A and B are shown apart, each in its own frame.
Chain A
């Protein structure tokens, strides 16, 4: 039995552009329009645009919004001001990660949670389970489209379409304004390691927004980018992919997301378990590695150290900006030091790799 795949409001646009569509987390999404490497390099050197409308948007309203969010997430949403965004894991009682998400504060009693497409249903159930009175939870995913514009030329590109002074929208801040005449939430966030924006619009205006952004992007030599390059871009920047690098069996401390855990903010779900893990010492860590030959590690390949299987690759791919092959794997803390030699089992053979510093790639400032 095959379930019918979801389509974003931009499905027809992708077909017209010759995008190659694949299944991703229950969605039919473009993996590439031209070549993954070309699209990747366009974002690194210029600008690229993405349809990421599959992401989920959950609105939290009411006087008890902040207490609920504070209970649900590991990071501290009390520090947010209106127009600010926060990246955070949402944990289970045992410290595992239910989802990683962005929290947008529109007002003291109105927030938007942006969650992974494959987790929308699970997150909603989780949030409802833990909510009490004084808060309304609304799934606005279907009526919301999301277009990302990423790359060093994204600000100038976006500026041609809006009266909002883009230079005033700082990192992890957002503002509401018109882009190409369309009411848009302009958020300076992204998943590529480059400067960029994510543009939230009503689904029925998505095609108009895409067309305008496409024209502006095209005018400066940028291009549409599919999920293939989105994955290599985020991996080079060492941004975790839910379901690969993090899930309910991994904790933020193991995943290198300690900076997102606000131990001192008061109680939240998973806090006790994380304190316990922190006191005990972190036994394994999500580390970056680089292949030392030309082979390519992929998710689920086994990692060996001195003939002992010590872990599994969670993400692995060629790094088009670095001209080498990279990956992430959970390694026991004692062998997680930078430059530690490990071996990756690929099709029955061991290939040399070494632990390296991350992010693998950092955008020049």
Chain B
């Protein structure tokens, strides 16, 4: 459910590192909670992001939720498929449902995020509350 090679945020985004590029999406838990993703608003390529600040929005039928940047850096690519097919976020949150690629400016930021295990514990703790 939560691939071990990814890092996770408390706000349910995941980050996958490839060199100094980080792919970003939302976790399987988040897509299941949101359900029926009907719209994803993404930044333009070239936008400079700051860690933990909103870079976009994901919307369900009922509400809109911020998407937060797992690392600071520049947006070098966005998943344009999501414009026509936002449901990809539900169908394949770790693959075809990816959202943006960031050229990160500080890899320490990434290391400070949660591991899959830590993220799972966080969710289980929340659900038991």
B35 adjacent to A35 (CB under 8 Å): yes
Interface size class of A (residues with CB under 8 A): 10 to 19
Q: Which of A8-16, A50-58, A241-249, A293-301 contacts B (4 or more CB under 8 A)?
A: A293-301
Set of chain A residues within 8 Å of B61, measured between Cβ atoms: 36-37, 228, 232, 317-318, 320
Which B residue sits closest to A294, measured CB to CB? B39
B83 in the interface (beta carbon within 8 A):
yes
CA distance A232 to B59 in the complex (A): 15
Set of chain B residues within 8 Å of A228, measured between Cβ atoms: 61-62
Minimal beta-carbon separation of B88 from chain A (angstroms): 14
Set of chain A residues within 8 Å of B59, measured between Cβ atoms: 296
A296 adjacent to B64 (CB under 8 Å): yes
**Contacts A31-B62, A317-B62 given: A347-B38 contact, CB under 8 Å?**
no
A213-257 CB mask vs B (1 if < 8 Å, else 0) is: 000000000000000100110000000000000000000000000
Set of chain B residues within 8 Å of A231, measured between Cβ atoms: 62
Which B residue sits closest to A38, measured CB to CB? B36
A36 adjacent to B35 (CB under 8 Å): yes
Set of chain A residues within 8 Å of B57, measured between Cβ atoms: 347
Which B residue sits closest to A318, measured CB to CB? B38
A46 in the interface (beta carbon within 8 A):
no
Minimal beta-carbon separation of A161 from chain B (angstroms): 31
B39 adjacent to A295 (CB under 8 Å): yes
- For window 22-47 of A, CB contacts with B under 8 Å fall at 31-32, 35-37
A-B contacts, 19 of them at CB < 8 A, read A31-B62, A32-B35, A35-B36, A36-B35, A36-B61, A37-B36, A37-B38, A37-B61, A232-B61, A294-B39, A296-B59, A296-B64, A298-B64, A317-B61, A317-B62, A318-B38, A318-B61, A347-B57, A347-B64
Which B residue sits closest to A31, measured CB to CB? B62
B77 in the interface (beta carbon within 8 A):
no
B1-35 CB mask vs A (1 if < 8 Å, else 0) is: 00000000000000000000000000000000001
A293-317 CB mask vs B (1 if < 8 Å, else 0) is: 0111010000000000000000001
Set of chain B residues within 8 Å of A317, measured between Cβ atoms: 61-62
Set of chain B residues within 8 Å of A294, measured between Cβ atoms: 39, 83
Set of chain A residues within 8 Å of B38, measured between Cβ atoms: 37, 296, 318
B91 in the interface (beta carbon within 8 A):
no
- For window 275-309 of A, CB contacts with B under 8 Å fall at 294-296, 298
Given contacts A294-B39, A298-B63, A347-B64, 10 further A-B contacts (CB under 8 A): A31-B62, A35-B36, A36-B35, A36-B36, A36-B62, A37-B36, A228-B61, A294-B83, A296-B59, A325-B39
CA distance A228 to B39 in the complex (A): 17
Which A residue sits closest to B57, measured CB to CB? A347
B39 adjacent to A296 (CB under 8 Å): yes
Minimal beta-carbon separation of B101 from chain A (angstroms): 22
Set of chain A residues within 8 Å of B41, measured between Cβ atoms: 295, 347
Minimal beta-carbon separation of A345 from chain B (angstroms): 14
- For window 310-365 of A, CB contacts with B under 8 Å fall at 317-318, 320, 325, 347
CA distance A32 to B62 in the complex (A): 11
